[in-house]
Amino acid sequence: MISDLVRSLVARVATVGVKADPLSVAIAAVGGLVVALFVVPNLPTKHGIPGPFRLPIAGNALALAKYANTGKSHELFHQYFTKYGAVFSLSAFGVLILAVRDPVLIHRALTDTTSFRRSERAGQRVPDIIGEALFVLPSGEQWKRHRKQLQPAFAPLQLRNAATVIDPVVGKLADYFTDLAAKHDGSATVNIYSEFTALTFDLIGVIGFSFNLDAIKSLHEGTANESFEILEDVPIIFQQRVFRPPSTWEHHGIGLKSPRPLRVRKFLDDLFGRVIEERHAANSRAREPKDPKTMDVLDRLLLGSEELGTFTKNEVIGEMAAFFLAGHETTANTLTLLMMELSRNPEIQERLYTENKTTLASLKEGLTAENLHEFKYLDFVVKESQRLHAVVGRVGRQTTRDIDYNGRIIPAGTNLMLAFNEAHRDPKYWPAPERFNPDRWDGLKPHPGSFVPFGDGPMNCIGQKLALIEIKMTIIRLIERFRIALVPGQDLSYVTTITTGLKHGLRVALTPRI
């Protein structure tokens, strides 16, 4: 059909050359415009990878923005993967994007650092707030410096100490549920997502920076918590900017000079500025210099090192905000979706309870970071939940040179969207992919790239061990003390911002086990 259109236009243009009557000129001009605007953007490309119809200039940006702004981009991508297969192409304002579900290409893009990189794109969405933070920094020297400096804050000793912080905080949360249940006919009904968001928010503050933003306290006392509200706005601004050209941000109230982002940045400067000053003062009062082995994230950011130099104030504040961002919503969503599966599958819950009881009784030194591996069925349950619910559903990379992909050439400079959530449910790698079946993990070594909840390669999640300690300890302590049931009749649809979770959270009834 396209070739017929092009042929008739060529004939028209040829006629124009001979006769030049006004009607033919007008038809040829309109036709030329139609071809330039609608046909050329949709001609088969060098890479030959299929994809949905592209509009002139905007390409697929309008559909992407529409779905992204309603939190449903996962639905649009799923429709396209179903229609076009494991890799499809999109464009947005001249930028070519390949969406990838194929685990082989996902694995390659995450681990082959000579052919793929993280581009500047994510950082350019939030240069005013967290532009210089690890998880948006492009591949290169600055990323390497941040990673090298911060990695030791997640070493075994720090994780062991973190576990000693997590266990009592979770214990207090469980006490709160017990009291609530006693006041309400023996069962506490809560939106567990709100509880987990507050929990993970407080934990990242205490573990990473030794200060508590008291989100749990505010939630339970029903008081406002400005730090929490402001930090929660960062991913929303991020998401609202993703598929919109920067020239339109101001119009949507999310420009670099718009009041909302300015308020966020000012608040972060004030809050984190105070925390930084206090830490500097404490460090200068200390008689001995800090032992690098016991340094937390903030120490590492402030003290720098001989080898890696010192961090600017913008880098420190950006990292602090980004750690709250990367470290709390991801973990809260993972915990919530896991609770959804447990509340839907009482028999799995009971198996966990039995394992819990025997394993906890066998631990001489109590629950620690080191003995969590003894809860084997719990490990399967967590993995299976992360497989079905990849809360970081998509991650970006860019090709640094032409790539041969199954005989097709993906040109250098192409942006890839690696769809972890789709790879996790690919029937080629996962039999009965929609079934929540923890037993599938018994003896299983997944195909590379088919299970990547924390990414892979050098840019994998720096906080993954900490996140798993938080998740496992929370589940162990809640399952130990409560039966968890789903409150019927609720809307469990997903919402995708930077992460994917449940749009309205999750209401569960917690009934204490006697």
Chain residues in the site for ligand HEM (CB under 6 A): 118, 134-135, 147, 204, 323, 326-327, 330-331, 334, 391-392, 395, 453-455, 459-463, 466-467
- In whole angstroms, what is the distance from residue 16 CA to residue 408 CA? 39
Nearer to ligand HEM, 31 or 453 (CB): 453
Minimum distance, C-beta of residue 271 to ligand HEM, in the bound complex (Å)? 18
H-run or E-run covering 500: strand 500-502
Contact 87, 109 (CB under 8 A): no
Contact 391, 467 (CB under 8 A): no
Instruction: Give the nearest distance from C-beta 30 to ligand HEM in angstroms.
Output: 45
Beta carbon of residue 331, minimum distance to ligand HEM (angstroms, whole number): 4
Nearest residue to the partner ligand HEM, using Cβ: 463
**Which CB atom, from 310 or from 460, has the smaller least distance to ligand HEM?**
460
Give the SS3 label for residue 119: coil
Whether the Cβ atoms of residue 188 and residue 177 lie closer than 8 Å to each other: yes
Nearer to ligand HEM, 191 or 334 (CB): 334
In this structure, what is the dihedral angle of CA atoms 37, 42, 45, 49, given to the nearest 10 degrees? 150
> From the CB of 435, what's the least distance to ligand HEM, in Å?
21
Distance spanning both ends of the chain, measured CA to CA: 72
**What are the DSSP calls for 341-401, one per residue?**
HHHH-HHHHHHHHHHHHHHHHH-TT-S-SGGGGG-HHHHHHHHHHHHH--SS-EEEEEESS
Nearer to ligand HEM, 173 or 335 (CB): 335
Structure tokens at 503: 């749009």
CB of 14 to ligand HEM, least distance (A): 52
Token digits of residue 28 = 């040829």
User: 149 vs 511, which CB is nearer to ligand HEM?
Assistant: 149
Residue 488: burial class (beta carbons within 10 Å; 0-12, 13-18, 19+): exposed
Task: Name the residue among 477, 473, 439, 441 with its Cα closest to residue 357.
Answer: 477
Give CA–CA dist 97/80, Å, rounded.
Answer: 13
Closest to ligand HEM by CB, 54 or 146: 146
Q: Which residues contact 43 (CB under 8 A, 6 or more apart)?
A: 2
Query: Which residues are 59's β-sheet partners?
Result: 55
Minimum separation from the CB atom of position 248 to ligand HEM (A): 26
> How far apart are CB 134 and ligand HEM at their closest, in Å?
4
Query: Smallest gap, in angstroms, from Cβ of residue 366 to ligand HEM?
Result: 23
Output the smallest distance, CB 469 to ligand HEM, in A.
Answer: 9
Q: How far apart are CA 22 and CA 31, in angstroms?
A: 14
Give the span between the Cα atoms of 202 and 225, in whole angstroms: 12
Nearer to ligand HEM, 65 or 466 (CB): 466
**Cβ-based nearer residue to ligand HEM, 158 or 191:** 158
Least separation in angstroms between CB 208 and ligand HEM: 6
Residue number, 188 or 325, with CB nearest to ligand HEM: 325
Distance between CA atoms of 274 and 320, rounded to whole angstroms?
Answer: 13
Q: Are 196 and 502 in contact (CB under 8 A)?
A: no
Closest CB to ligand HEM among 264 and 468? 468
Task: Calculate ∠ Cα 444-446-449, nearest 5°.
Answer: 170
- DSSP state, 475? H
* Nearer to ligand HEM (CB atom), residue 78 or residue 121: 121
Would you say 59 or 463 has its CB closer to ligand HEM?
463
Nearer to ligand HEM, 51 or 453 (CB): 453
Q: How far is CA 303 from CA 205, 291, 311, 390, 511, in A?
A: 18, 11, 8, 35, 47
Contact 157, 435 (CB under 8 A): no
Closest approach, Cβ 176 to ligand HEM, in A, equals 22
Residue 466 CB, shortest distance to ligand HEM, in Å, is 5
Q: Is residue 388 within 8 Å of 338, Cβ to Cβ?
A: no
- Cβ–Cβ < 8 Å for 468, 369: no
- Quote the least distance from Cβ 363 to ligand HEM, whole Å: 24
User: Strands, DSSP E only, in 151-200?
Assistant: 188-191
